[in-house]
Amino acid sequence: MTPRTARSARPAVGQKGRKPTVAQKAKAAADAHQTVARNRRAAHDYFIEDRYEAGLVLTGTEVKALRMGRASLAEAWIEIDRRGEAWLQGAHIPEYLQGTWNNHSPRRKRKLLLHRGELERLASRVQAKGYTVVPLELYFVRGRAKIEIALARGKQDWDKRHALREAQDRREAARAVAEVRRRGGG
């Protein structure tokens, strides 16, 4: 067998039987969904009806601060203006530590990138009584900053208490089942 045919008989890089290269591992990690911040309070305060993924218009220092995992959606909300544009307001992205005089304002409003049809659908539902748009999660997908937003209806206090009671009942039931299995009864 000649050296040329021996080389061509090897499987190509990334095929079955070969270990992935460092570059392939890095690409797979970059393609992964990397969560930066979650708004856990939204599920407690609102009934989530529709979810949308939107892009964000950010400055360079904002992206660098997000890559460091520093952001908060705790008091953030989405506003749709008269021109039909969606804006993220109240989100806190702290200044980039190595930034210069060119750093961003931590609580500035940031434009959201959505399709026109999605914006029109959101705007018409928000004008209906009781609906609002809330941010749920801020993350990176393939190197791009994205935000998951939701069309939501506010919960009353009794709704919140009812949801907490149901969650507690589910936890207690799961705990009881685990206890029975642990004792060998199931």
CB atoms under 10 Å from CB of 16, counted, come to 5
Is residue 63's pLDDT more than 60?
yes
Of the candidates 122, 135, 139, which has an alpha carbon nearest to the alpha carbon of residue 45? 135
Distance between CA 61 and CA 70 in Å, rounded?
12
pLDDT, greater one: 130 or 76: 76
CB-CB contact of 37 with 138 (8 Å): yes
Burial classification of residue 99, based on how many CB atoms lie within 10 Å of its CB (0-12 exposed, 13-18 middle, 19 or more buried): middle
List phi, psi (to 5°) of 38.
-125, 145
Strand partners, 133: 151
pLDDT, greater one: 129 or 53: 53
Is residue 104's pLDDT more than 80?
no
Distance between CA 143 and CA 33 in Å, rounded?
9
- The 10s digit of each residue's pLDDT in 128-180 is 777 888 898 888 888 888 999 988 887 666 666 777 788 888 888 888 888 88
With a threshold of 0.85, does the pTM exceed it? no
Burial classification of residue 25, based on how many CB atoms lie within 10 Å of its CB (0-12 exposed, 13-18 middle, 19 or more buried): exposed
